[in-house]
A and B are shown apart, each in its own frame.
Chain A
């Protein structure tokens, strides 16, 4: 059974930092790209960024709204992907989902972790 379990979400002050983690099981993690997608309260889905698989050198891409503030990394030996978030703003408040996929195939989603940015 495929599972993606996010953790690390909590209340943090504006300007603060936070790192989210996602542990995957049930599929060959190293073959998959891993995305982070977020959803602000009552809003739609917003792609945050991607780390590609080993065959694509683990290259990363980011949405313009987070570029320079967020960093995605992965550890294939631990079947894990991370989202380091710096200089957090109130508009970063959202549920953050971890998503794993292979180009041309369907993807897997975690249940999400809530990040609240507020003073």
Chain B
């Protein structure tokens, strides 16, 4: 049971917009930065979003994020086949004094 809650799966067709939610609490998402990671099959996770909404250079602006209270979300616009991956949210948890991850959302491009 993950501290951060994500839907296990999501799907969309090429060109569509898809959103992935991440629900937490006052001790993690509400009070600390949220990160989003993309993990392609057989590879290490790659950071897509840091400090809630910021994208590292090289991450397409098709990826965006938002945060409100104890929840965060990742949006993918103009879905592409290469976006098929597992997406994780993460944040520091002040109560646990540790980093917590969501269980991951497997995105399928139909």
A interface residue numbers (CB < 8 A to B):
35, 37, 44-47, 49-50, 61-64, 97, 103-107, 109-112
Contacts and interface: CB of A to CB of B under 8 A. Distances in A.
Contact of A105 (B50, B98, B101, B104): B50
B101 A45 contact: yes
B85 interface: no
Interface in B38-54: 43-47, 50-51, 54
B90 interface: yes
Interface in B75-110: 86, 88, 90, 96-104
Residue in A45, A97, A103 with the greatest tally of chain B CB atoms within 10 Å: A45
A63 to B, nearest CB: 6
A47 B98 contact: yes
Contacts of A63: 98
Interface residues of B, number: 25
B33 A50 contact: no
Complex A-B, nearest 8 residue pairs according to Cβ-Cβ distance, in ascending order: A47-B99, A106-B50, A44-B104, A45-B101, A106-B56, A106-B47, A109-B44, A44-B103
18 contacts: A44-B86, A44-B103, A45-B88, A45-B104, A46-B101, A47-B99, A61-B97, A63-B98, A64-B96, A97-B44, A104-B33, A104-B50, A105-B51, A106-B35, A106-B50, A107-B47, A107-B50, A112-B44
A49 B97 CA distance: 10
B68 interface: no
